[in-house]
Amino acid sequence: MKNLILMLAVVLMFASCTNVDPTEVGFKINNSGDYRGIDSLPTVTGWNFYSPGFSRIVTLPTVQQHVVWTSSMNEGKAVDESIAIACQGGSGFSINVGLNYRVNPSKASKIYLKYKTSDLESITQTYLRNIVRGSMQDVSGTITVDSILNNLPAYEHAVRDLITNRLSSEGFTVDNFSILNQPTPTDPNLQKSIAAKIQAKQDAETSKMQLQIAIAEANKKAATARGDSAEKVINAMGEAEAVKKIQQVLSPTYVSYIQAQRWDGKLSQVVSGNGGGILFQMKQ
């Protein structure tokens, strides 16, 4: 009988014992206790005994948590959890986001006392999601649709800073917040308008490029034409200079000398008129 009682005591003792892992922060809760402040909630570590029905040990993980709220069926939950926001003017987007955060061990008791649960998944999908969505809306409500599309990184940074401040006061440390892809307009007409604007911008860029190519080709042809014209002018000037030099050299004496060099020794059969001299018969 004594052995049976001893065995039951041992079983009961270990059934009411739990270990608080180093990656967790734990609290010993007296079910009849009245915790009026954070400091009154004692933290525990390692192996701890408690009396079932009278006390319990609750823990919160302090390792980094990762959650995504997206419309993709392949990431996060297989449902659309993307966050919808409205911009200045009423139009808005559906945005896929990701959040990395941790429980701040020094503020873990505040988390438990405020939310009255140690289920971090439940806290994340309700309270933290609302804080993230509210922060995104607070920023987007002050800017236009074009501002978000044209300055998405700036919007992302502004939201991250706001979420970091708000979750810090709740007892959480934000490691990262990111927009996972291009926001999707919630209004089909806005989607068409954005697509048309993007196409118009692409067409304008194409026209600008084509204009630059045409200008470059025209400049190339003009340069070639100027080069050809300059070459002709230089050649003409050279020929004119050559003729000028020849004219300067061809004096009457030099011409007579050339004629004498070419004379074949025969008198010409033709006599010039008016008593002129005899024409030489030149060698061919």
Residue-wise pLDDT tens digits, 219-233: 877 777 777 777 777
**Are 49 and 101 spatial neighbours (Cβ–Cβ below 8 Å)?**
no
Check residue 239 and give its pLDDT: 75
Confidence of residue 119 (pLDDT cuts 50, 70, 90): very high
The pLDDT value recorded for residue 74 is: 80
Give me the pLDDT at residue 243, please.
Answer: 67
Higher pLDDT, 169 or 145: 169
pLDDT category at 217 given cuts 50, 70, 90 is confident
pLDDT at position 146: 84
Each residue of 237-282: pLDDT tens digit?
777 777 676 666 666 766 676 666 666 666 555 555 555 555 555 5
| Residue ranges per structural domain of the chain | 2-61, 65-186, 250-282
Question: Amino acid identity of 123?
Answer: I
Q: What is the pLDDT of residues 180-201, one digit of tens each?
A: 998 888 876 665 566 566 556 6
Superfamily of domain 65-186: Band 7 domain (3.30.479.30)
Taking only the tens place, the pLDDT of each residue in 79-89 is 889 999 999 87
Cα three-residue angle 164-105-123, rounded to 5 degrees: 60
